[in-house]
Structure formats: C-alpha cells, structure tokens
Amino acid sequence: MSGKKEGQSEFEYESMRVSRISLIVNAMLSVFKLIAGIVAHSGAMISDSIHSATDVFSTFIVMIGVKMASKAADKEHPYGHERLECVASIVLAVVLFETGLGIGTKAVSTIRAGQYDKLVIPGVLALVAAAVSIVSKEWMYQITIKVAKKINSSALKADAWHHRSDSLSSIGALIGIGGARLGYPIADTIASLFICLFIVKAAYDIFMDAIDKMVDKACDDALASEMMGFMLSQEGVIDVNVLKTRMFGARIYVEAEIEVDGELRLRQSHAIAHSVHDAMEKRYPAIKHIMIHVNPTEN
C-alpha cells in the first residue's frame, strides 16, 4: 500500500519519505554517539554527536520548507511558493555554521590551554561509535542525494550534504580518537577542530546555493546548451536566437526565441512554437514555465 496521500505531489511525497527516515536514524545515532562520547571520554565524539543532533533539527526545517514550497499558486503568490525551499536551506546553513563555530571555539580553547597531559584517553566505545556513524551517515547521504536529484530539491540536497559532512566529521573523529589511544591525547581535540571546518564548509556551500536560486541565477551552461540543442532538433525550428533561463527555487523559468520559415502562416508558426513548448516541458520536468517567441527568417 502506497503512503502517498491523495493530491500530494511526487516532490512532497519523496521529500517527506526520505526526511522521516533521516529523523529516525539521526535521533538514534545522536543519542548513541553522545553516550559513547561521555562513557569513553571523547571530546571529538561528543562534538560529533552534537553535529548529528543538528541533523534532526535541520531535517525538520527541510520538511517545513518542502511542505510550504509545495503549496499551489494562489492570488497573493501567482508564481507559486518554490522559493520558500531556499529559505529553509538558508536557515539550515546558519544552524550548521553556528554549530561548527561552537565546536571549533571549544577545540581552540583546549589547544591553547596546553595542558595535554591532563586530557583523558578515549575508550574503545568511541571508536565503535565513530565507525557506526561513518557507515550510517554515508548510507543516509546516498539515499537522500538520490531522491534530491530525482525531484530536484535544493533543501533535500542541502540535507544530503549535511549527512555527508557528518560522515566526514566522523572520519576525523575516528582518526583523532585512534591517535589519542596511540599516545597522542591532543589528537582527539585536533579532530574536533577539523570537524568544525567540515561543518562550516558545508554551511557555506548550502548558503551560496540557496542565495543563487533566490536571485534568479541562470541554470548551468551545460544544461542551457543541452536545452538549445534539443530545441534545434525539433521539427520546423531553423535556429534558436535567444535562450534565457533563471532558477526559481528548485524550478526553472525559460524564455526562448526560435527562428522559423518566414513564409509560414501564423497558425503554422504558432503550432511549431506550441510543439517546442510541450516537448521542452516533457523533456525537462524541472521547468516551471517556458515562453516561446517566434522570429521569421529574413528571405
């Protein structure tokens, strides 16, 4: 039996499905890593558990953003609500940045204190927790990014990279904990510092991607070239004089000027434009709206 509700879009259904999985996995992983960090006396693992805890909060943000972005256009918002997904991504980026900054500040303070001989050597449980986290978070990244690409969701892509950054930070924790157990106690704290850098980098990437989509940035050159080639392949199209694209949240607006035989009647030219319009929307589901203008050839 499908869990998809009546009237629910594929975008919303897939987003909510993978987000619910994220919530469950992240909550369990965060608690496990926190307990392991406390019991095994690992600052890196405790920092890593905080990172996982922010994943729970970020997934809630993603779910709210997707829900709002999925609302149909109305009188006050005739172009729809897709950009609200970008707002969710920006909030997520800010939360990530503050989390990373907090972890980094604590690590720097410990390093500057210089009392390395007083640092406690982490226990084996911390190593086990780091290994479990690496596998779990990489698995979450893979399933989330797959769905994000399928439905072209920027918020879900941001959440996927949040999973990947957590996986990378766990690798740092594993190295730090291992180094501490080999006789270098400061390695655990240094690992926390690297975890901070991973988190801040992920926050920056998510923030910039969301901003680009908020300010009508054009889609990438490769996709634009592919679109132009596809329009040129349509029957009756002699040339594509102009192609403009702009991102609207996770969707794309397209404006194009195609050149057709100037001897054609108006109805025939209109039919070609209509055919190109329909073909483009079918080929590229991410297109929210496409406007085709017809230019006649100069004989």
Q: How high is the pLDDT of residue 8?
A: 59
Q: What is the pLDDT of residue 90?
A: 84
pLDDT of residue 166: 75
Residue/partner pairs of 112-118 with CB below 8 Å, 24 or more apart: 116/185, 116/186, 117/185
pLDDT at 24 over 80: yes
Give me the pLDDT at residue 278, please.
94
Q: With 70 as the cut, is the pLDDT of residue 120 above it? A: no
The pLDDT score that the predictor gives to residue 1 is: 40
Provide the pLDDT for residue 118. Answer: 57
pLDDT of 19 above 70: yes
What confidence category does residue 3 fall into, taking pLDDT thresholds of 50, 70 and 90?
low
pLDDT digit string, tens, across residues 79-98 = 667 777 778 778 878 877 88
- How buried is 78 (Cβ within 10 angstroms: 0-12 exposed, 13-18 middle, 19+ buried)? exposed
Angstrom distance (rounded) from CA 171 to CA 137: 11
Q: Is the pLDDT of residue 191 over 70?
A: yes
Average pLDDT, the chain: 81
d(CA 245, CA 255): 6
CA neighbours closer than 13 Å in the CB half-sphere of residue 165: 29
Q: What is the pLDDT of residue 195?
A: 74
- Which structural domains are found in the chain, ordered by start? 10-214 (1.20.1510.10), 221-296 (3.30.70.1350)
Q: Is the pLDDT of residue 105 over 90?
A: no
